[in-house]
Every structure is written in structure tokens, then in C-alpha cells.
A = this chain, B = another copy of it.
């Protein structure tokens, strides 16, 4: 039904209007022409494999069938990953992309039940195992002789890791640890692939030896027989049920009834239990911070990717969809010509760039700090941690909201599964919760900011909070420029930190404990951390654009996007700007007019911009967003795949409806 080679004429026109070379931008975003080529070849390798196609779209299957189809595909994907490795095209980076990133969520829309094997199990063995343990386990895991997962979260504990209840008690007589789940709430709950897929896990548990608790440590535990896959004795295991999204990731639960493992199954790179039961402490607890920060870096990158996917879909659809009238008796316009629609879409395009550049910054700094850490320098860690926390929180929350704005901008059709916007939301909103709940993370950033604020005479060693040393009383008169907006956001952040800190102190002076005063001031603390984060994102966007070496044509467009992101951010925070800078109501009108001007400037390049993201149709996975714009044909073709449509009359007519209708005659 879909004319494969025919491009919707509206999109043809849009593409003619584009003022820059989209290929130049694609290469820029990929990190060079060579990287673009590699990405495309990886995509072809996976997406064009006939074994990785599904006969019926996943959404029509039962929960159980979805899982079974996911295991089928996951095994093929893992086989192909090994093939890549053998060709020297492997690497952790690509694994992430294939198993959970943009490409991964294209191959297995509802999640891959084996992902944690490469993404958590192997990295934990590498990061926390001794050389001997690595020799024993990594080869097996790398070869996929065993499949592992990572079991930390429990039914009763997620955020507060110290509160985990699973115990690992050392028995020196047998040189074994005894793993046990003392309560219902101590059951492991959530780990991906734990339900029916993995046969091994790294399990986090409270370590007891010689009658004393030493806190949370990691243990390798075999869960299922390698031959029969039956759960081993004492292992109570299953899946946790349906979720908002990711219904084939096979998230599981796990309880232990006095399960014994050898002493050597404790991962002992950092801390050790000797055979007599003596505990040898880790040199630094900060060594394990690295992985946590790494995962947050990845989330900022993913947030950017999900957002650009959604805005590609919504922008192309808005160029193709005609509706209503701007002028009476004129033909129905493309809905992208409604300024309210532009206001929904274009800031999301700009936000993608903003998050992308923050992710890149974070990735570079993470790598530097990791090198420092290996050299024993821990000084930069708190600042990196603080930035990673707030960037994870703000980017996941804004991206989730942005994806919903894009979905709603597609009207009823955006509500359809075949638009792929609902499941994109399911994936991006999950990031607000996992790997550190957003409010909790913002409060961690706030803790860092308040500490810095209290010692703000000594800011040399920092890079992201230097502005806290500025004189808050020195006003910078309003200008219609991103530079002024950055100043205003920094001023806002500083004043909010100052205010929250003052309110904590006032509460303490009234006799409250510091912790209670902190809790009572926490709404303002969260707001301060968020303001700090926004100023950082705009500044990073600004710095990146200023340093880019690109053609004049492209630079013009990137500066427009930077300006749009800046003014959009400023207008969302007019209350703060009016409170903390000398901006006036008249100036706000100037910003509003600038916003409207920028929307009009970006309008002719909107389709060109999302084309530059170069997201394959299979990755978009959307009836509304495909490159050719044949929206209605695709909606119809997807509907025809519904098993309900295979028969003109469903059996429920005979079973239920007819007897009911006839009973009333």
C-alpha cells in the first residue's frame, strides 16, 4: 500500500527550503564522517537481519509471548555482538548502544531481557573482582557460557542502599557465605533478566562476619542449573509482572533461603573476608562511585536521543498534517505553520542540542576524573558527582516532558502505539526514577552547592560553580543576548542557593536540628539545584557553539537554536529573573518577541534539522515519523497487522454479543 519511493510532497517542499547542508550536521553530531559510516554499518548489520524481524508487532502478543520473542531476538543479538567482537568492532560503548540505546530499543522495542549481562554483570566483575576472580569469571561471561544479572534493589529498598536487608553471613567452618532473605521486603525486586533469563547474578547483601555487620558487598551467586535452568535449592525466583514500559526485560524477584556460596564468590577487589572470617577494609569507598557516575552520563545521552527521536516524529508529522484554517477560505495549512505548534516542537529540537552538548561535556570530564581516580586523586569527584546528579535529573525530566509535548502535538494519532511515541515516553520517564530518583539527586547537588556556598572564597579548584564567587549585588543591565541570559540564570542560581542556605540557618537559629531545617527547606534546595543545572546547560551549549568549526550556513542555524534554548529557558523562569535581576516587564516582552522571531527563523529548517539527526525509519519505528512522510498509508498498514483484523467477525460475537442482543428481543 505504501508507495515506497514516493515522498510526501510537503516534505519535498520542506527539504528544498533548508538553508544548510544536513550531511554536515549529521557528521558533526556523530563525531565525524567516519563515525557516521560506522554507525550506519552497525545499523544495517542489525536492522536488516531477517532473523531479527517479528511476524506480528509485539504489542499484539500476550505478556508471555512478548518475553519468548524477546529471548529469541536477544540470543541472535548476542550472537551478532560476538561476531562484531571477533571482527574487532566490539567495545563497551557499542554494546550499550546495541543493547539499550537508540539501536537497541529499535531492535527490541520492549526491552532486551539479557542486557544487564553486558551492561552490569560483566562491568561489575571487572570493576570489583580481584585478578583471580576476573580470570575465573570474565572469560565465562564474555563467552556467554553463563548469563548474569545485577541484583541490588529490594522490594523495600531502592534509593537507600544502606537499608538493603539481604544478608550474607560468613561461615568460617565451611568457608562459605550464607545468603538469606529475612523478610518479604528483603526480596530482590526489579533486576532485568532476573525472572527467567539469567542463571547467575551479582547480589548485593549486608556482609556479616564474626558477628559484625560490615555493610553492603557484592557476591556472585548461581541462580539456576546450567543444564536444566531449574532454580537451585533455596532460590525463590520469578518475574515481577507488567509495567508501564519495557515489558520484555523480564524484571525479576529473588529470595534466598539460606543459600550457600564459596567464600571466593565475594567480589574482593576492594574489601575482603579472609578464610578465618577477618574483614579487610576497602582503601576508599569512593572507588565505586565511578560506575554510578558512568551510568548517569549514559542517561543524559539517552535522554537526548529519546527526545530527538520524538521531535523527529512530531516535526515530520506536523509538516504533513493539514488541519483547520488560519485564514477563512484558504486551504487547510500544514499544522507546523501554527505558531503554537512551533512553540511545542522547536524548543525540543533546541533542547536536544543542549542535552547533547552537556552529555559530551560530562563524558569528557568523567574520563578525565576516572584517570585521576586511578592515579589516586579524588579531589574532582564531588563536583563531577554534583553535576552528574543534577544533569541526570533535569535531562530525564525535561526529556520526558518534551516527549509528551511531542506526542500530544500529534493529536489522536500520537496516542497510537504505532506512532512509537507512547513507548518512547515509557522508556524516557523510567529514567526519572532509576539510577537515583530525581528529587533525591537534586538534593545531592544542593548539598554540594550549599557546602561550596559556605566556603565561596575558595572556588579556584572548581569549574562549574565559579559564578558563586560573583558579587550578587553587581547588576548587569538587560540585553537581548544569550550572554545576558547566562548571567541571569547564574545570578538566579546563586541567589536561590543563598536563600535556601539562609532559611536553613534561620530554622537552626529557631532551635531546629540542622537535618530538620534542611528537610523543611528542601523545596527551595531542589529549586536551587535545578537553577544551577539550567545555567550550566545553557552555558555549556554556548561554549560549545562558540568553539565549533563549521560552515557559516550551519553556524547561523546552530546559533538560532542556542538563542531559542536560552530565551525559552529564560521565559520559563521569568519569576526568578524578575526577582533576582533588574529585568523589567518590558524586557520580558522583548524576550517574548525574540522567541517568536526565532520560531519563524527556524521554521524553514525544521524538517532539515530533524533529517540531520539521520534516524533510520526502523529506529524511529513510527507510522508518523518516517522519512517519506506517508503517514496515513502507514497508519492503515499497521492497523491491518492487528490479529483482530484477520477475521471479519470475532468469536466474541457468537459467544457473548449475539446471545445478549437476542435475549432482549
Residues of chain A whose beta carbon lies under 8 Å from any beta carbon of chain B = 57, 59-65, 67-68, 71-72, 74-75, 78-79, 82, 143-147, 153, 155-160, 163, 184-185, 187, 189-190, 195-197, 226, 228-231, 237-245, 250, 253, 322-328, 332, 337-341, 343, 404, 408, 411-412, 414-418, 422, 429-430, 432-434, 437-440, 443, 499, 513, 515-516, 519-520, 522-524, 526, 573-580, 585, 588-589, 592, 595-596, 632-633, 635-636, 638-645, 648-653, 655-661, 663-665
A241/B639 in contact, CB under 8 A: yes
Note all chain B residues with C-beta closer than 8 A to A64: 60, 643-644, 650
Which of chain B's residues has its CB closest to A580's CB? B585
Query: How distant is the Cα of A334 from the Cα of B238 in the complex, in angstroms?
Result: 28
Kindly identify which residue among B63, B68, B71, B325 contacts A642, using a CB–CB cutoff of 8 Å.
Answer: B63
Query: How distant is the Cα of A592 from the Cα of B325 in the complex, in angstroms?
Result: 44
A664/B327 in contact, CB under 8 A: no
Task: Give 10 closest A-B pairs by Cβ, nearest first.
Answer: A574-B575, A575-B575, A71-B652, A242-B417, A244-B422, A578-B578, A75-B660, A62-B62, A59-B242, A238-B645
Chain B: minimal CB distance from A476 (Å): 18
Note all chain B residues with C-beta closer than 8 A to A158: 323, 411-412
Given known A-B contacts A412-B158, A644-B196, A522 and B78 have beta carbons under 8 A apart: no
Chain B: minimal CB distance from A286 (Å): 19
A411/B159 in contact, CB under 8 A: yes
A636/B184 in contact, CB under 8 A: yes
A343/B412 in contact, CB under 8 A: no
Chain B: minimal CB distance from A3 (Å): 12
B416/A243 in contact, CB under 8 A: yes
Given known A-B contacts A158-B323, A159-B411, A642-B63, A71 and B656 have beta carbons under 8 A apart: yes
Note all chain B residues with C-beta closer than 8 A to A75: 656-657, 659-660
A71/B416 in contact, CB under 8 A: no
Chain B: minimal CB distance from A424 (Å): 11
Kindly identify which residue among B155, B241, B429, B650 contacts A196, using a CB–CB cutoff of 8 Å.
Answer: B650
A648/B230 in contact, CB under 8 A: yes
Query: How distant is the Cα of A463 from the Cα of B416 in the complex, in angstroms?
Result: 40
Which of chain B's residues has its CB closest to A324's CB? B160
Note all chain B residues with C-beta closer than 8 A to A664: 82, 143-145
Query: How distant is the Cα of A654 from the Cα of B523 in the complex, in angstroms?
Result: 53
Query: How distant is the Cα of A570 from the Cα of B172 in the complex, in angstroms?
Result: 64
